[in-house]
Amino acid sequence: MSAGGLSLLSAWARVFASDDPRPEFAATAINQVLLFYFGTSDAADDASIDIIVPLVSEHGDLVPFKIIAPGAEKIAVVTDANPEPLILAIDQIRHSPGVIVGRARFAQSGTLTCYVMRSGVLGRASRRVAVPGHWQEQS
């Protein structure tokens, strides 16, 4: 390979090895995710956010969830069960109510929390999920 080819390859590697342009994805704390993504970590409980998630995940570390967040402008779903807490972030919501259905990997039992921005106000709702071999909530 020519020196010019090595130089081009080196420049390409530096571009792709640089920091992610969206730092919330590399954040190691939920407060960091909130500050990077929403610009604030000041959130209040919001009863209008509906999280449907099993109390105990039957499939080990894959936790199915459904979130309904009417009027959402931005949504972030996080968990305290992972070293990097951000599961997903959505900011191009075209329909109301905002409905998200998916599966999240949990490294251990923890809490699934949804943060929703509406008209500059940040709200949150949470649900605990047990992964087999870890804690379970008592009824």
Instruction: Say which amino acid occupies 38.
Output: F
- Beta strands 74-79; 86-90: pairing state: antiparallel
Residue 20 pLDDT? 57
Of 14-23, 37-46, 49-58, 114-123, the one with minimum mean pLDDT is 14-23
Q: And the tokens for 137?
A: 């909530």
Q: State how far the Cα of 3 lies from the Cα of 7, in Å rounded to an integer.
A: 6
- Domains in the chain, ordered, with CATH? 22-129 (2.60.40.2470)
pLDDT greater at residue 22 or residue 100: 100
The structure's pTM equals: 0.77
Q: What percent of the chain lies above the pLDDT cut of 90?
A: 39
- Tens of pLDDT, residues 42-85: 999 999 999 999 888 876 668 899 999 988 889 999 999 888 89
b/e map of 55-84 (b: 16 or more CB within 10 Å)?
A: eebeeebebebebbbeebbbbbbbbbbbee
| pLDDT band, residue 11 (cuts 50/70/90) | very low
